[in-house]
Chain A
């Protein structure tokens, strides 16, 4: 298991050539730093960041979660990169938990040159969950956008086209002893590098061109805000339907069309209602 130090390979001067999978996890660093795309810097602590992602994976992932065309302001009083939670109605992560003034979480999410390490960190990072994809769509989640970009890119690089892809839903299994940490994600059978987009106690979700015989549903002919449709066509339920709180989550997910909003809803719902005696 790789240790979780921020930056394994010290460089002298900026990196020259970056693995496209690494670029996928670094392509929206300007959003974590509250900068516009145009004002984005190309280098962050010697790491190449804000590079465009090959094979159209970024644009396709954006279409899974946001409307096409020029963005519109949708929430009048929230011109902010902070994500709003559909579960609580407020900002998703309290300010004191993301330490916005301090770059430590950013180092952790950006500086590794091992793309599998970056995947495991984005999959488990609470700090990344604090940001939206676009100030115009504050209920979307930058964290799940980046994970969807990586999943699409990995599938495209393996020769799959978008129309071949499936959403796969699997039970997550017991909680690792150390909790859902990045290191635990890399050691977990429930997590597939790049293609797992959600690793939560209630289930894991994967985007893959190789669904096998797991519960799955096709993503459709082209990228669209289709989460509710894809979810409600899964070939089997991934979680215990006898439990009222999970039926409620299932019912809510049949309403949410934006992919990153829906994935964030699952995490927020599990955090608020997943433990204790809620039913």
Chain B
């Protein structure tokens, strides 16, 4: 039995931390002071992905099909493996084409004396004859936690999850997260049939650590079961614990390689629980995807095709 607890936070104030994610490390540090020593030792926290709240439709790999109403401000039920990733891709592919999807998926930037922050709402004007002349798109942050080999750590209580503060200037009211929704997911009970018996790609959802300055942390090579053609793009990032700053050399997230391993279902679960150094703090999350199902819908086999 391997459980994960999905958590959806509402962003209450400007956020001034890492640009790509609210890191698992930031979320862990915010949670660690609220749980007991055993939970602190076992708790593993994913990176938090920014999610807008807007009308959407489920992607084709999702267990539900078609129009979904408003997504982003609640956690839909998880029945198959792909459902885990609905909100975990920055491109948020469920956004409707009939609305300005790119405008809805780019957070507004606020400057605080030259320091840039993401705003929790983006305002859009409307025609003057509409009664409420403005509407806004609100931002949420989705992450998940699990208890290593100790399932008794979960679920974390609502009052543990509510009111975290993350990012810079959090003592001045920035980076406040309130709990919006949470649910437990049993990984062993999900449907993995789409990743069995087929050629697969592996997509990095969070960075994979190659080198870490953290005391005692091991360096890692790119795993042999990633079919890598050429060099992977790297990115330097930092792990901050109070006054200590540790530089990490990572394989940058968002890249896609071939899956060259064997046991796809077991690997898929490992990708959710994450692999490599600092997996406890969100690094090394990946998703398997059938190679013929391109993540760009128009390019998927049987949908569209070359036109030139």
Q: Does B68 contact A (CB under 8 A)?
A: no
Q: What are the nearest 3 A-B pairs in CB distance?
A: A232-B254, A224-B298, A251-B19
Do B299 and A221 touch across chains, with their CB atoms under 8 A apart? yes
CA of A248 to CA of B114, assembled, Å? 13
Residue of B nearest to A226 (CB): B296
The distance in angstroms between the C-alpha atoms of A84 and B255, with both chains bound, is: 30
Interface bits A85-101 vs B (CB < 8 Å: 1, else 0): 01101000000000000
Max chain A CB contacts within 10 Å: which of B20, B91, B105? B91
A51 at interface by CB-CB < 8 Å: no
Which A residues are within 8 Å of any B CB, using their own CB? 55-57, 59-60, 63, 67-68, 72, 74-77, 84, 86-87, 89, 137-139, 152, 156, 161-163, 215, 220-226, 228-229, 232-237, 241-242, 244-245, 247-248, 250-252, 254-258, 261-262, 265, 273, 276-279
**Which candidate, B6-14, B59-67, B119-127, B157-165, is the interface stretch facing chain A?**
B119-127
Contact, CB under 8 Å: A244 / B116? yes
Instruction: Tell me the nearest residue of chain A to B304, going by C-beta.
Output: A222
Q: How many residue pairs between the two chains, A and B, have CB atoms under 8 Å in the bound complex?
A: 149
User: Is A76's CB under 8 angstroms from B106's CB?
Assistant: no
Give the docked Cα–Cα distance between A181 and B66 (Å).
48
Q: Considering the chains assembled together, what is the distance between the CA atoms of A215 and B230 in angstroms?
A: 11
Q: Which residue of B lies closest to A242 (CB)?
A: B236
B97 within 8 A of A: yes
Q: A177: shortest Cβ distance to chain B, in Å? A: 28
- The B79-138 residues at the A interface (CB cut-off 8 A) are 90-92, 97-103, 105-109, 111, 114-116, 122-127, 130
Residues on B facing A (Cβ under 8 Å): 19-20, 90-92, 97-103, 105-109, 111, 114-116, 122-127, 130, 230-233, 235-236, 252-256, 294-299, 304-308
| Residues of chain B within 8 A of A276, CB atoms compared | 114
Given known A-B contacts A251-B19, A257-B102, A229 and B295 have beta carbons under 8 A apart:
yes
Are A279 and B124 also in contact (CB < 8 A) when A220-B299, A256-B106 are? Answer: no
User: Which one, A84, A87, A89, A256, contacts B105 given CB within 8 A?
Assistant: A256
The answer to whether B102 and A255 touch across the interface, beta carbons within 8 angstroms, is yes
Docked-complex contact B20 and A251, CB < 8 angstroms: yes
Residues of B within 8 A of A89 (CB): 108, 122-125
Residues of A within 8 A of B111 (CB): 273, 278
The smallest beta-carbon distance between A162 and chain B, in angstroms, is: 5
Contact of B103 among A139, A250, A262 (CB under 8 A): A139
Q: How far is A220 from B304 in the complex, measured between Cα atoms in Å?
A: 13
In contact, B307 and A225 (Cβ under 8 angstroms): no
Contact A250 B109 (CB under 8 A): no
Chain B: minimal CB distance from A87 (Å)? 7
Residues of B close to A56: CB separation below 8 A = 307-308
B299 to chain A minimum Cβ distance, whole angstroms, is 5
- Cβ contact within 8 Å between A225 and B308: no
- By a CB distance below 8 angstroms, the chain B residues around A256 are 102, 105-106
Contact: A84 with B90, CB < 8 Å? no
Contact across chains for A68 and B304 when beta carbons are under 8 A apart: yes
Interchain CB contact under 8 A, A74 and B99: yes
By the criterion CB–CB under 8 Å, are B127 and A76 in contact? yes
Q: Cβ of A220 and Cβ of B294 under 8 Å apart?
A: yes
What is the bound-complex CA distance between A242 and B19, given in angstroms? 12
Residue with the highest number of chain B CB atoms closer than 10 Å, among A60, A63, A229, A250: A229
- Of the listed residues B123, B236, B298, the one surrounded by the most CB atoms of chain A closer than 10 A to its CB is B298
Residues of A within 8 A of B103 (CB): 75, 84, 86, 139
Q: A87-B109, A229-B295, A276-B114 are in contact. Are A222 and B102 (CB under 8 A)?
A: no
Question: A75 touching B296 by the CB < 8 A rule?
Answer: no
Residues of A within 8 A of B19 (CB): 244, 247-248, 250-251
Please measure, in the bound complex, the distance between the C-alpha atom of A62 and the C-alpha atom of B124, giving whole angstroms: 25
CB-based contact B254/A254 at 8 Å: yes
Query: Which residues from B are CB-within-8-Å of A247?
Result: 19-20
Q: Which of B91, B102, B109, B127 has the most CB of A within 10 A?
A: B102
Contact check, A235 vs B231: say whether CB atoms are below 8 A apart.
Answer: yes
Beyond A86-B106, A89-B124, is A162–B308 a contact (Cβ under 8 Å)?
A: yes
CA distance A265 to B253 in the complex (A): 21
Min Cβ gap A38→B in Å is 23
Q: Is B116 touching A278 in the complex (CB atoms < 8 A)? A: yes
Q: How far, in angstroms, from A161 to B307 measured CA to CA in the complex?
A: 10
* Residues of chain A within 8 A of B299, CB atoms compared: 220-222, 224, 226
Chain B nearest CB from A176 CB (Å) reads 27
A189 to chain B, nearest CB (A): 24
- Excluding A244-B116, A257-B102, 11 further A-B contacts by CB distance (< 8 Å) are A60-B308, A63-B307, A156-B308, A223-B308, A233-B256, A237-B233, A248-B116, A250-B19, A255-B91, A257-B296, A278-B115
Which residues of chain B have C-beta atoms less than 8 A from A233's C-beta?
233, 254-256
Query: What residues on A are CB-neighbors of B294 within 8 Å?
Result: 220-221
The residue that A223 contacts in the complex, of B105, B126, B236, B307, with Cβ under 8 A, is B307
Within the complex, the shortest CB–CB distance from B75 to chain A, in Å, comes to: 20
Contact B100 A265 (CB under 8 A): no
